[in-house]
Chains A and B, each alone.
Chain A
Amino acid sequence: MTVPIIELRNVEKHFGSVIALSGVSFDVRPRECHCLLGDNGAGKSTLIKIMSGVHRPTKGDIYIEGERHEFDSPRDGMHAGVATVYQDLAMIPLMSVSRNFWMGHEPEIGVWPFKRLDKAKCDQVTMEEMRKMGINLRGPDQAVGTLSGGERQTVAIARAVYFGARVLILDEPTSALGVRQTANVLASIDRVRKTGVGIVFITHNVRHAMAVGDRFTVLNRGATFGTADRGKVTAEELQDMMAGGQELAALSESLEGTI
Chain B
Amino acid sequence: MTSMDNSIDERVKEMSGFRRALLRPELGAGIGAVFVFILFLTLAFDSGMFAPAGVLNWSTVAAQFTVIAVGACLLMIAGEFDLSMGSMIGFSGMIIAILSVPLGLPLWLAILLTFVIAMALGALNGWLVVKTGLPSFIVTLAFLFILRGLTIWSAILFTNRTLISGVGEKVPGDPIAWLFGGKILSGLFVWLAERGVIATFTQGSRAGQPVIEGLPMVIVWAIGLVVFGHLLLTRTKFGNWIFASGGDSQAAAYTGVPVRRVKISMFVLTAFCATVLATCQVTEFGTAAADRGLLKEFEAIICVVIGGALLTGGYGSVIGAFLGAIIFGMVQQGLYFANVEGSLFRVFLGSILLIAVILNTYIRRIITGEK
Contact = CB atoms under 8 A, between A and B. Distances in A.
B237 A115 contact: yes
Contacts of B241: 103-104
A41 interface: no
A184 to B, nearest CB: 12
A93, A102, A116, A117: most-surrounded residue (chain B CB, <10 A): A93
Listed from nearest, the 5 A-B pairs whose CB atoms lie closest are A145-B368, A92-B247, A104-B256, A104-B255, A106-B237
B265 to A, nearest CB: 15
B229 interface: no
Contacts of A105: 255-256
B154 interface: no
A103 B15 contact: no
A104 B252 contact: yes
Contact of B244 (A86, A103, A138, A159): A103
Contacts, number: 88
B347 interface: no
B5 A136 contact: yes
A76 B186 CA distance: 60
Dominant SS among interface residues on chain B: loop
B339 to A, nearest CB: 43
Interface of A: 78, 84, 86, 89-95, 99, 102-106, 108, 115-117, 119, 124, 127, 131, 136, 138, 143, 145-146, 159
11 contacts: A94-B247, A94-B368, A95-B243, A99-B240, A102-B240, A103-B252, A104-B256, A105-B256, A116-B236, A117-B240, A127-B1
A58 B250 CA distance: 27
A103 B367 contact: no
A49 to B, nearest CB: 12
B277 interface: no
Contacts of A115: 236-237
Contacts of B23: 143
Nearest to B12: A138
Contacts of A90: 251
B276 to A, nearest CB: 20
B4 A92 contact: no
B213 interface: no
Chain B: interface size category: 35 or more
Given A94-B310, A104-B255, A136 B240 contact: no
A136 B213 CA distance: 58
Interface string B328-371: 00000000000000000000000000000000000010011110
A131 B3 CA distance: 13
A94 B315 contact: yes
Interface of B: 1, 4-5, 7-9, 12, 15, 23, 231, 235-237, 239-241, 243-244, 247-248, 250-252, 254-257, 310, 314-315, 364, 367-370
B15 A138 contact: yes
B247 A93 contact: yes
A95 B8 CA distance: 22
Contacts of B251: 89-92
B369 A103 contact: no
Contacts of A146: 367-369
A117 B256 contact: no
A136 B255 contact: no
Nearest to B4: A131
Given A103-B241, A117-B235, A136-B9, 14 more contacts: A84-B254, A89-B250, A94-B367, A95-B244, A103-B255, A104-B241, A104-B256, A104-B257, A105-B255, A116-B231, A117-B239, A131-B5, A136-B5, A146-B369
B369 A145 contact: yes
Nearest to A90: B251
A211 to B, nearest CB: 23
Contacts of B7: 136
Given A95-B314, A103-B252, A108 B237 contact: yes
A84 B254 CA distance: 9
Nearest to B8: A136
B12 A136 contact: yes
A258 B329 CA distance: 68
Contacts of A78: 256
Nearest to A108: B237
A91 B252 CA distance: 8
B241 to A, nearest CB: 8
A117 B237 contact: yes
